[in-house]
Structure 1
Amino acid sequence: MNRIEEFEQARPLLLSIARRFLGRGHKAEDAVHETWLCYETQPAQAPSDRAFLSATVARISLDMLQPRRPEHPPPQPAPSPSAAAVALLEGLPPLERAVFVLREIFGCGPPEIAAALGRTQAACDRLAAAVPRAGDGRGTNRWPGRIEGAEAVARALAAIGPSLTRIAVTMEPQQVGRRPGAVFRDREGTVLCALAFDVLEGRIQTIRWLTRPYTCPSRPTPAP
């Protein structure tokens, strides 16, 4: 029995298998036809032609059930500057994150970073060398002047707060200009940065980093 005769003898079985997957429409006929094309191109007849044909039509039918992916899928939208900046922060270990915040967001120089960390200048220089800079190809092009969106704001504050608390930097709620905001101070009480909040319906929607130099009210002196 030649290959064509073998296939024609198996056709009712193959059509039955295809219909179990694809129903009684034209797709089952297409699956059987694809099975023949596959069988026809085999270099030699399989040891068990009927078993080979049955397995092939089942595989082709399953493949036809899968949604076809576009040859050129549409590009995914690029993350917003706020989302990219927060993702960069979240990817750093706590101490490196604190150095990144002090240097890239607060604009602190090496002496201020060393004072905030309570370490020697040399130790801080070695640590800072391992921390990525915004715009060096490993992070965002530049740190944005503001973080927008309630979710991004919450994630940014959650990433920044604990890493700074770890090195005794405090965040004090304070009016900044005409907006509610906060001031960051190091362990000696020196102001490192201030930020202002845009609040809508009781939720912070935007945080804006103030460009240095800026003026902030002094910390109240405790009553004797």
Structure 2
Amino acid sequence: MTRTEEFEELRPLLFSVAYRILGSVSEAEDAVQETWLRYELSPARPASARAFLSAVVTRVSIDVLRSARMRREEYVGPWFPEPLLTDPYEDPEQSAELADSLSMAALLLLERLSPLERAVFVLREVFAFGFPEIASAVGRSEAACRQLAVRARRHMDAGRPRFEADRKEREELAERFFEALREGNVDGLRELLAADVSLVGDGGGKAPQWARGFFGVGQVSQMLATLFPPFFRIGGVVDPHQVNGQPGALFRDRDGKVLNTWTLDILGGQIQAIRTVSNPDKLGHLGPVADAWAVLRETQQVRPDPE
């Protein structure tokens, strides 16, 4: 097998590792490309391409994350990971860990860890790497990596998101939610939302966003029922889709361009949290991006005047 063939076979794994460390599709793709360049220039063929490439992409991702964290501290409004529709890497033996680690809630928890803790947690808990491989990847002793893993696991367990185990039930509830949204059905929305539900958006200062979000079933259901029927009247489309392994949707303008993504956290037969990403810089990998400001202006023009 040639180097190119080896690399392409491992590309899904490398991207999935990098994305979970970085929370960014574009940065993960850049990290994978940098890994290929280093592999191509390596004078000797490593004994294990998987171990070598995984170590390189981890080290590259850690370096990128350290600089990215400084930028995220200056980010306008809430910061959410770039939405991912499909994880390219599959492993039946790790399917539960892979799915759980991909959710917006889990990725936001990972943001609380140091870059080294995050990398060790991802390699150990998500992809089941052995500590010798992890130590080589992050440049620490096995003992130090075990300590990093314990600390990371403690932080993650303290805030670990819980979701409905039955995927079909979650999808059915999400379908009912988006139908009620289309109809502006306040009662239908209230029935599906938890009492303390939150709705928070990431616009990055580059798209319309809710200042600090909406909180509580009354506030969230009323806002949704008021804002979205006009959006659908001007030709807006909701395209239900798994987003980061959770029930969600892509919202599009009448021309099919992407406005934002939504993810729903569902527990106990109710929606606990809604997270939206509308920053155009985070949507380009999903297709042509809509002019969100123009859509908002048109939506407001067809909203009925308050009585």
TM-score normalised per structure 2: 0.23
Structure whose alpha-carbon radius of gyration is higher? 1
* Higher relative contact order, chain-length normalized (CA < 8 Å, sep 6+): 2
TM-score normalised per structure 1: 0.31
Higher helix share: 2
